[in-house]
Amino acid sequence: MGKAYIVGAGPGDPDLITVKALKCIQKADVLLYDRLVNRELLTEAKPGCQLIYCGKQPGIHEMKQETINHLLVKFTKLGKTVVRLKGGDPFVFGRGAEEVEALAKNGLSYEVVPGITAGVAVPAYAGIPVTHRKMASSFAVVTGHRTTGKPTDVNWENLAKGVDTLAIYMGITNLSYICEELQKHGKKRNTPVAIIQQGTTKEQRTVTGTLATIVGIVKHEDIQNPAMIVVGEVVLFRERIRELEVLNQGYCEIGVNEGLAN
């Protein structure tokens, strides 16, 4: 029997992959990779490694999850070293748990290799901390999309009333619904919001507004998926740092610097 590795590739910047994840890529016989995995990482695979694209995007699934599970089991049974390379962390909205379950049901050897998740890394690259001693003592990662459409089963009331910072994945399509739900359940209209497109990559763009204005801003700026939504007072930290840089005529390198330059 072989062994399967369920590996997090990080949020986009290839330099954010972990040492252990990189070693897994380099020894893989078969590598099944997702749409948001930086293609630079694939060049680390050894000669002869079989690369299989398993990408998913809104409304279009190149490969069904059941097929991915089948391939993981199939190649591991053949004695291969199999790497399932997933954007971010495999257990944060990555269906990694379903893949682990498929391997476990078949009595196969596997290991999970965590990755840096976008909910923390993407705001950081835009100059936004998810927690701050004076602004936010709690944060939550939230899905902004369900296979059936709007995330109606998310407890927006608890999130609106009980969490300081929200990092919302896959929510651009449902942005209007999300803003309405948060306001309906107690978040103020002027609560700061940032939308970060293509976070941690050279194409990163950030726009900011409030729960009342961000939908119009996103439409005007033509912000598209993949994008992270950050809701909370910590968004204001980005502007504070920008003001300090102007005041001191300095330049603080945060991530790809897009956060403070745009």
What residues are annotated to the active site? 34, 56, 170
- Termini Cα distance of the chain: 51
227 forms bridges with which residues in the sheet?
197
| Nearest Cα residue to 108 out of 67, 65, 73, 70 | 73
Collect all residues with Cβ–Cβ distance below 8 Å to 235 and sequence separation of at least 6: 128, 192, 193, 194, 208
83 forms bridges with which residues in the sheet?
5, 31
208 forms bridges with which residues in the sheet?
194
Rg of the chain on CA atoms, in Å: 20
| Nearest Cα residue to 205 out of 124, 167, 262 | 262
| Residue 260 · residue 254 · CB < 8 Å | yes
- Sheet of 50-53: strands edge to edge? 50-53, 30-33, 81-86, 3-8, 109-113
